Structure 1
Amino acid sequence: MIYLLLSILSSSVIFVIFKLFQKYRVDTLQAIIINYFFACMVGFFGYIKNTDVTIIPEKLWFPGTLVLGALFISVFNLAAITTQKSGLSVVSVATKMSVAIPVFFGIILYNESTGILKITGILLALVAVYLTSIKTTTGIKIKKENLIFPLLVFLGSGIIDTTIKYLETTYVAEDEVALFSTSIFAIAGMIGIVILTGQALMGKLRITGKNILGGIILGVPNYFSIYFLVMALRTEGFESSTVFTINNVAIVLFSTLLGILLFKEHLIKKNWIGILLAIVSILLVATS
């Protein structure tokens, strides 16, 4: 349970950092790419001891880290496009409701339990995510021509979680969790460098100190959000469908509360209903 709580805390801190990016006008793309390298350094120097990194490409999970690294960058860019075209609420809903994908695969592939309380909790969790994320009384509106972007964010986010679960279950040894997590960030960072190089060639790159600082600050909780999630998935007695549901809903819940406390965000009636449903869904899933 402690790993799940730490994963939730780490991911919620990321929410606060992104809000500060917006306040101080940090270039999010640059900060994200720099963050990948710093997250890699956190894992490499903090958790990896006496490991020959040249053997990483020989690991059975290595091809999976290539996929995950590419997905990290791709989903982020799609989320940015979705925010511009449809708003932040749409991104939040698409990202968090993607929990349905790993939950579905957990039940189908790993024969995880499907009791009435658990199913009810999962369905309530999806409703809670939607109600907590929307910031207008009219709900979410997406133009037909822009629908593809939140759909891709939904699929990409779900595939990331499902792939992490598959790899950690099938290929990642118990003493390789840190190496596995670090490798994902290293790959994402390398792909990010290619993107920045392209921007530089087009004369669009302008790196500033605050972008670098933002990336460094983001790197620590970002690394631990993945590391602790993988460790939570390995916790005996917790099924992946339970872990992913509680993790995603609790992040939405805690992030919303942080928004109220730190940024004086105003919640509408639907948000408060969503918070209540989030609490109920967590209790149902955790006790089922």
Structure 2
Amino acid sequence: MIYLLLSILSSTGIFILFKSFKKYNVNTLQAIVVNYFTACILGSYLYEAEIDPIAIANSTWFYGAIFLGFLFIAIFNVMALTAQKNGLSVASVASKMSVIIPIIFGIIVFNESVRFIKIFGIILALIAVYLTSIKERDNVVLTQSIYLPILLFIGSGTIDTLVNYFAPDDKIPLFSATIFGIAFCVGLFVLIYKSARTTNRFKIKSIPFGVALGTINYASIYYLLKALRVDGYETSTVFTINNVAIVAFSTLIGLILFKEKISLKNWTGIIIAIVSIIIVTLK
């Protein structure tokens, strides 16, 4: 359970940093690229064995890591577009509700248990995610560019599913480093391309923020994968607890640190989130 707790805390830290980007006028794309580089270096450093590029290229998970690296950048941009065109609430709900994809995958592919109490807990968790994520002041336009939240939903769920599916039990740091390394290369290309077309220059402040983001970003994935490999905890249970706890905790952090207003719906979602976690963890 300690791995799951560390994953939740790390993911909440990502939320705090992203909120700080706006406050300190940090270029998000630049920080994201630095973040991927940092996470790649960190994963490589924590991998205790010798790193063999040929062995990596011949591994069963290499092509999955390449696909995930591209997907990381693509979904990041889809999330930004969704927030701009459909509202922050739609982007938040679409990305968080996607947890249903790895849950269903775990039940079907890994033959995980399907009990009424567990299904009831998962349904409660999805309701909690929706109620906690929705912001009443957002200008939500569901009919505008409706394909964007759909793509975000599918893409976010696919990332969670494939990261868990391809990750080798004995090479989690190396696997994570490879994904982040590929994402860095793709992101660097996008950054150079955009810089050539605009007058934007690289900001030095993007480096410390990117390093901090990369550190906790790596930790969030590393500890989630470790939690998914703890005996006695099924994929559907871990993803449900992880996702709903992050949403609820991030909302509370927003209230405490950033003085965000929490509506009655949000408080109801937080309460339901706690109940759903208790139900899902019941044996």
Q: TM-score range by the shorter chain?
A: over 0.9
CA drift of 1:212 comes to 1.8
CA drift of 1:244 comes to 0.6
CA drift of 1:34 comes to 1.0
* Residue ranges of structure 2 left out of the alignment (5+ in a row): none
Task: Give distance in 2, aligned partners of 1:200 and 1:266.
Answer: 37
* Superposition TM-score, scaled by structure 2 size: 0.96
Tell me whether 259-268 or 6-15 shows the greater mean CA deviation: 259-268
Q: Which residue of 2 aligns with 1:7?
A: 7
CA deviation digits over 1:143-163, x for unaligned, max 9? Answer: 423211111110000000111
CA deviation digits over 1:45-78, x for unaligned, max 9? Answer: 2334432234211111000001111111001000
Task: Give distance in 2, aligned partners of 1:239 and 1:246.
Answer: 11
Counterpart AA for 1:287: L
CA drift of 1:204 comes to 4.1
Q: Which residue of 1 aligns with 2:22?
A: 22
* Residue ranges of structure 1 left out of the alignment (5+ in a row): none
RMSD (Å), alpha carbons: 1.4
2:231 aligns with one of 233, 236, 246: 236
Counterpart AA for 2:211: I
Q: Which residue of 1 aligns with 2:191?
A: 196
Counterpart AA for 2:112: E
Is the 8 Å Cα contact of residues 121 and 281 (structure 1) preserved in structure 2?
yes
Counterpart AA for 2:131: L
CA drift of 1:16 comes to 0.4
Is the 8 Å Cα contact of residues 128 and 273 (structure 1) preserved in structure 2?
yes
Q: Counterpart of 1:243 in 2: which secondary structure?
A: helix
Task: Give distance in 1, aligned partners of 2:129 and 2:199.
Answer: 37
Identity %: 53
Q: Which residue of 1 aligns with 2:52?
A: 52
* Superposition TM-score, scaled by structure 1 size: 0.94
Matches within 5 A, 1:26-41: 26-41=26-41
Matches within 5 A, 1:72-111: 72-111=72-111
Matches within 5 A, 1:60-79: 60-79=60-79
**Change in 2 beyond 3 A, CA 1:196/1:48:** farther
Q: Which residue of 2 aligns with 1:283?
A: 278
Matches within 5 A, 1:83-232: 83-136=83-136, 141-168=140-167, 172=168, 174-232=169-227
Tell me whether 52-61 or 124-133 shows the greater mean CA deviation: 52-61
Q: Counterpart of 2:281 in 1: which secondary structure?
A: helix
Is the 8 Å Cα contact of residues 134 and 140 (structure 1) preserved in structure 2?
no
CA drift of 1:140 comes to 7.7
Is the 8 Å Cα contact of residues 196 and 205 (structure 1) preserved in structure 2?
no
Is the 8 Å Cα contact of residues 99 and 244 (structure 1) preserved in structure 2?
yes
**Aligned: 1:271 with 2:266:** yes
CA drift of 1:109 comes to 1.1
Number of residue-to-residue matches in the alignment: 283
CA drift of 1:4 comes to 0.8
Tell me whether 183-192 or 47-56 shows the greater mean CA deviation: 47-56
